[in-house]
Structure 1
């Protein structure tokens, strides 16, 4: 961990903005935790928190207690208590929904993905391979899954995916997003999904994504 240096606030703001631009965070991507950002920039968490508040005031990011910090402007339908219409559910139900939903997104991505989508997916794979710690890996994992959803070419399905992600980003659900022994297998699954999408192999992409989500469910619930 870097020793906190606490550069002047304007300099830290510039560093954070450059970080967002360099890593090409897509809209509505969840950022790493304050602790991880503080370690990355070698500053205290209080300094990071203050800079994030300023970026939020500028509309660069938005924050929600219990969900995290996200790139872009806060969606109009998300208030202080979450998204209106969010129904009571459980982590198992959300995982079951992913088993049904995400393989079909991967299938559509095999038909509709373009060069920009491929670059975004490869960026996510590279960043996960180089991630220094679990929180960074998990953040890029979420971004990869959204990139696949976006590559489906269907804005309605992407919006539905983002709604599903809102549930996953709540504290009670994030408790499941923890290091597990199958992280190497998960990375292998990711590469298989992206490879099938690149090859326009819709059946292969769908099957690889289903295998991946089922593996996550087994890791989380033991079934």
Structure 2
């Protein structure tokens, strides 16, 4: 069983690298059809579907029946096709400060043992030394797992829509600040520890407080005091 799980984790890591490589090149965010993906990754159809489901659950990809599999989180459709161009960095950080502390509070109320175990696993992996990109993936997974732990599909959809805009508008700045500075990452990891502990002990007030303080700290690291 342990060996089988390791093989799945290895396949998940390979697919993540493949997806990140395509995303870095820009252009079409739709993945090739499953037969071509199987060939590119040397993976069986059944195993590919298993790892696709895993990455879809993490919000790295989304699937539309009849249209294909796409990189990124599923986005809400809006009537104004130009709406996203009007979103500023300040808008995004303000939105995070409104939404994510409430998600953390709801997670503290509704989180299951499985949710808490997933959050603690993220923390463990984030504390290991290493390059920026794996740490960033884990940071994204941690925040989305908190949203998932609310067990509220509408809140999760709102989070995914906001997160998609964060990727477009903030990822470059995050890499510029956090990639060369391990101290900044360690400080963020400590903030995550407090936050996850509040969720683990089912303390919504503290979870909301620690998430707000964490996001304010990130904002200061990225843009200075404002």
TM-score in terms of structure 2 length: 0.67
| 1:70 to 1:209, Cα distance in 2 relative to 1, 3 A | closer
| 1:20 to 1:139, Cα distance in 2 relative to 1, 3 A | same
* 1:31–1:70 contact (8 Å) kept in structure 2: no
Aligned to 1:169: 167
Q: Of 66, 71, 74, which residue of structure 1 is paired with 2:63?
A: 74
Instruction: Report which of the two has the higher share of helix.
Output: 2
Aligned to 1:19: 10
Question: How far apart, CA to CA, are the structure 2 residues paired with 1:201 and 1:31?
Answer: 39
TM-score in terms of structure 1 length: 0.68
Question: How far apart, CA to CA, are the structure 2 residues paired with 1:193 and 1:108?
Answer: 13
For 1:123-138, what aligned pairs fall within 5 Å after superposition? 123-138=121-136
Structure 2: segments with no counterpart, 5+ residues: 1-5, 23-38
Length, aligned pairs only = 181
Q: Report the alpha carbon displacement of residue 167 of structure 1 after superposing the two structures with TM.
A: 1.0
Question: How far apart, CA to CA, are the structure 2 residues paired with 1:110 and 1:197?
Answer: 4
Q: Report the alpha carbon displacement of residue 71 of structure 1 after superposing the two structures with TM.
A: 4.9
Deviations 1:68-89 (A, max 9, x none): x965542569989x95435221
Q: Secondary structure in 2 aligned to 1:74?
A: strand
Structure 1: segments with no counterpart, 5+ residues: 1-14, 36-48, 63-68
The answer to whether structure 1 residue 221 and structure 2 residue 223 are counterparts is yes
Question: How far apart, CA to CA, are the structure 2 residues paired with 1:175 and 1:18?
Answer: 27
Q: Secondary structure in 1 aligned to 2:173?
A: coil
Q: Of 175, 185, 188, which residue of structure 2 is paired with 1:186?
A: 188
* 2:59–2:144 contact (8 Å) kept in structure 1: no
C-alpha root-mean-square deviation of aligned residues, in Å?
A: 3.7
* 2:59–2:160 contact (8 Å) kept in structure 1: no
Aligned to 1:116: 114
Aligned to 1:51: 41
Question: How far apart, CA to CA, are the structure 2 residues paired with 1:141 and 1:100?
Answer: 19
Runs of 4 or more, structure 1, over 4 Å off, are: 15-18, 29-32, 58-62, 69-73, 75-80
Greater shift after overlay, 210-219 or 125-134?
Answer: 125-134
Q: Report the alpha carbon displacement of residue 221 of structure 1 after superposing the two structures with TM.
A: 1.3
Question: How far apart, CA to CA, are the structure 2 residues paired with 1:109 and 1:51?
Answer: 36
Question: How far apart, CA to CA, are the structure 1 residues paired with 2:64 and 2:197?
Answer: 32
Question: How far apart, CA to CA, are the structure 2 residues paired with 1:185 and 1:79?
Answer: 33
Q: Report the alpha carbon displacement of residue 217 of structure 1 after superposing the two structures with TM.
A: 0.7
Aligned to 1:33: 20
Q: Report the alpha carbon displacement of residue 132 of structure 1 after superposing the two structures with TM.
A: 1.6
Question: How far apart, CA to CA, are the structure 1 residues paired with 2:134 and 2:155?
Answer: 26
Q: Of 202, 206, 217, which residue of structure 2 is paired with 1:200?
A: 202
